[in-house]
C-alpha cells in the first residue's frame, strides 16, 4: 500500500500537476493539504474518474484537507478534537481498508508566524491537541499514521540554511520541542528510517530561485505508530515534482507499507 502526502497549494491551480503525478506515481492513498476549496467546489468527479474515492474537509479560500483513495475508506472524521470552536479545516481521518487496515490522519499544522503573537499561540495550542490525539491513536495499538504539512523543521539537518530559520515559528526551540514531544510518544519519522542524508527537502519557496539553489526545508512528514512502522518498506520524497510546470511549493512524500 502506497500512501502519500502532498500540500498542493490550491486544488484548482494544481489539477494538471496533481493528475500527472497520480498517473505516474500510482499512490493508493493521497493526503492533500491546502486544497483552498469548499467541499462543494472540490473537483470530486475528476478524481472518481481516475479510480479514487474522495473525502474532503474544506473551507473557503484557505487551508482545507482531503483524502483520495483507491481502497475503501471507513470511519471518516473531520477536525482535530479538542476545540469545537476551531473553524480552520486542518485535519481529516479515515481507515484505509487494505489487506491490513490502516488509520490515516491527514494534517495541515498551522504555520505560526509571526512570533510572538496569536498565530504562534494557535500553533502551539494546536500541537497540544495533536499530542492528545496521538496518544489516543497509540492506545489503539493498531497501524496508524499522521502525515501532512507539519510546518516544522525537525533539525538543522532539514534546512539548507538552518540559521535563517532559528527565529522562525517552523524551527524555534519551542516548536521543535513540541514536535519531539509527539514523536517521542512512540512515533517513527518514516523518512529518517531510510535516509540520514542532508539536503533532502519537501518545500522550496517560490521566491529567490530557491528551487534552483536547492534552498529548501523538510517540513512534510510521516509519523507512524509502532504497529505501522513494523509495516514500513520505503519512504521517498518526489522532489522532481518541484521542477514541473506550475508546481506547488511543496512536493509529494510517500511511504510503502506491507499492508
Partner DNA sequence: ATGACAATCAGAGATTGA
Catalytic residues: 108, 149
Contact 203, 216 (CB under 8 A): yes
Q: Name the minimum Å distance from CB 126 to DNA.
A: 11
Q: Name the minimum Å distance from CB 67 to DNA.
A: 18
Q: Name the minimum Å distance from CB 105 to DNA.
A: 18
| Touching DNA, residues 188-227 (CB under 7 A) | 203, 205-208, 217, 219
Cell of 62: 484557505
Say whether the peptide bond before residue 70 is cis (omega within 30 degrees of 0).
no
| Beta bridge pairs of residue 256 | 2, 234
Binding of DNA at residue 77 (CB under 7 A)?
A: no
Cell of 174: 519551542
Task: Select from 18-26, 32-40, 46-54, 178-186 the region that touches DNA (CB under 7 A).
Answer: 32-40
Tell which one of 9, 19, 77, 155 touches DNA (CB under 7 A).
9
> Which of 149, 169, 142, 141 lies closest to 222 in space, CA to CA?
149
Its sign, for the CA torsion 134, 231, 199, 147, is negative
| Touching DNA, residues 122-161 (CB under 7 A) | 149, 151
Q: Residues 6 or more apart from 48 whose CB is under 8 A from it?
A: 54
CA distance 97 to 103: 9
Binding of DNA at residue 36 (CB under 7 A)?
A: yes
Q: Name the minimum Å distance from CB 225 to DNA.
A: 25
**Mapping DSSP to helix (H, G, I), strand (E, B) and coil, where does residue 79 land?**
coil
Binding of DNA at residue 249 (CB under 7 A)?
A: yes
Binding of DNA at residue 40 (CB under 7 A)?
A: no
Tell which one of 80, 170, 182, 253 touches DNA (CB under 7 A).
170
Binding of DNA at residue 175 (CB under 7 A)?
A: no
| Beta bridge pairs of residue 30 | 4, 68
Question: What is the bridge-based pairing of β-strands 144-149 and 220-224?
Answer: antiparallel
The total of other beta-carbon atoms located within 10 Å of residue 38's CB is 14
Q: Name the minimum Å distance from CB 123 to DNA.
A: 10
Binding of DNA at residue 43 (CB under 7 A)?
A: no
Residues found near DNA in the complex (CB under 7 A): 7, 9-14, 34, 36-38, 60-62, 110-111, 113, 119, 149, 151, 170, 203, 205-208, 217, 219, 246, 249
Amino acid at each position: 500500500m502506497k500512501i502519500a502526502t502532498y500540500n498542493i497549494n490550491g486544488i484548482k491551480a494544481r489539477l494538471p500537476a496533481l493528475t500527472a503525478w497520480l498517473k505516474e506515481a500510482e499512490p493508493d492513498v493521497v493526503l492533500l493539504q491546502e486544497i483552498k476549496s469548499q467541499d462543494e467546489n472540490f473537483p470530486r468527479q475528476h478524481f472518481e474518474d481516475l479510480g479514487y474515492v474522495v473525502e474532503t474537509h474544506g473551507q473557503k479560500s484557505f487551508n482545507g484537507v482531503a483524502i483520495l483513495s483507491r481502497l475503501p475508506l471507513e470511519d471518516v472524521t473531520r477536525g482535530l478534537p479538542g476545540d469545537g470552536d476551531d473553524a480552520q479545516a486542518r485535519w481529516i481521518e479515515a481507515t484505509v481498508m487494505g489487506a491490513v487496515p490502516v488509520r490515516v490522519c491527514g494534517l495541515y499544522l498551522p504555520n505560526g508566524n509571526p512570533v510572538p503573537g496569536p498565530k504562534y499561540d494557535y500553533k502551539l495550542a494546536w500541537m497540544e491537541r495533536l499530542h492528545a490525539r496521538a496518544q489516543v491513536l497509540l492506545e489503539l495499538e493498531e497501524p496508524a499514521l499522521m502525515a501532512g504539512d507539519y510546518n516544522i523543521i525537525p533539525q538543522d539537518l532539514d534546512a539548507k540554511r538552518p540559521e535563517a530559520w532559528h527565529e522562525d515559528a517552523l524551527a524555534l526551540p519551542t516548536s521543535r520541542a513540541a514536535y519531539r514531544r509527539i514523536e517521542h510518544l512512540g512515533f517513527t519519522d518514516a523518512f529518517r528510517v531510510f535516509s540520514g542524508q542532508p539536503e533532502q527537502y519537501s518545500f522550496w519557496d517560490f521566491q529567490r530561485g530557491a528551487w534552483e539553489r536547492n534552498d529548501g526545508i523538510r517540513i512534510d512528514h510521516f509519523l507512524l505508530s509502532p504497529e505501522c512502522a513494523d509495516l514500513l518498506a520505503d519512504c521517498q520524497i518526489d522532489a522532481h515534482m518541484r521542477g514541473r510546470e506550475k508546481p506547488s511549493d511543496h512536493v509529494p512524500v510517500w511511504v510503502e507499507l506491507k499492508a
